[in-house]
Amino acid sequence: MQKISLAIHGGAGTILKEDMTSELEQAYLQGLQSALSAGYAILEGGGTATDAVKLTVEILEDNILFNAGCGAVFTKEGTHEMDAAIMSGKDLTAGAVAGVSNIRNPIALAAEVMRNSDHVFLSGNGAFDFALRQGFSTVPDDYFFSQFRYDQWIQIRNSDTYALDHSKESESTTIKDKKFGTVGAAACDREGNIAAATSTGGMTNKKFGRIGDTPMIGAGNYANNNTCAISCTGHGELFIRAVAAYDVSCLMEYKGLSLQAAMNEVVNNKLVKIGGEGGMVGVDAAGNMALLFNSEGMYRGAKSSDGTDFVRIYKEG
């Protein structure tokens, strides 16, 4: 019988138990569990992998703890510019948006691009106009307001530095507390089809319309039934340079590596060599899963019909 599975993440980085209150830890675990349970219910009910990852990411976007959707960080101008991508491994269809504002669930807009446009990637005002044409309702700027994110932005808004999600120091210094708040999911359904979805608010105090790896097919998100579905979280510039998600697929397709081995090569070797910190979650068409990261922790969870069922935060062992 075909194994169904869902792997999710809510960001990676220097996530240490000693820096976390028990209340906040529980809130993160509950947020991950809610998204994991809802997405898996889609698969269990015979739904598609694409629908499962879309719903999973929407729920994470609706949780203010994560740097996506309502929890998105502030840009240099004090606004919110969000990126998202989704891809179906069955037919290699994909949709992505970058630099969108006032859209509650950017992943839903990315899915709309995939399903109801002749394009793959829309950005900025064009993506917003497409959303309106497709009947999306908008939300006001204050929907995305978080006191925590605002205070973080205030600390560095008058500088030319940026912060990686909720780090305590800027990228221009030696960072002890790097955290990458991208959210994402990868799933395998009862038909053996796989899909991946990823969404982010980017970097605090980002400027010049900066775009990371999240909406770039092959960099932060990729799915192909012949190999794998991958969703990444990390320092976007390095994941772009490494074409990280597609590199996992290539290692599986051209070198015959397993999902676990291919992801390990990219996360713990290739990315490390160029200073790329973060992680990724992945599935293959047999329903196998892997959740790997080279940072101190990664908000993550996995559930499968083989009995696997967990949500975790910290590095094990």
By annotation, the residues acting in catalysis are: 182
Q: What's the per-residue H, E or C state across the chain?
A: CCCCEEEEEEEEECCCHHHCCHHHHHHHHHHHHHHHHHHHHHHHCCCCHHHHHHHHHHHHHCCCCCCCHHHCCCCCCCCCCEEEEEEECCCCCEEEEEEECCCCCHHHHHHHHHHHCCCCEEEHHHHHHHHHHCCCCCCCHHHHCCHHHHHHHHHHCCCCCCECCCCCCCCCCCCCCCEECCEEEEEECCCCCEEEEEEECCCECCCCCCCCCCCCECCCEEECCCCCEEEEEECHHHHHHHCHHHHHHHHHHHHCCCHHHHHHHHHHHHHHHCCCCEEEEEECCCCCEEEEECCCEEEEEEEECCCCEEEEEECCC
Distances in whole angstroms, Cα of residue 15 to Cα of each of 25, 108, 152, 217, 299: 11, 29, 17, 27, 9
CA distance 147 to 131: 28
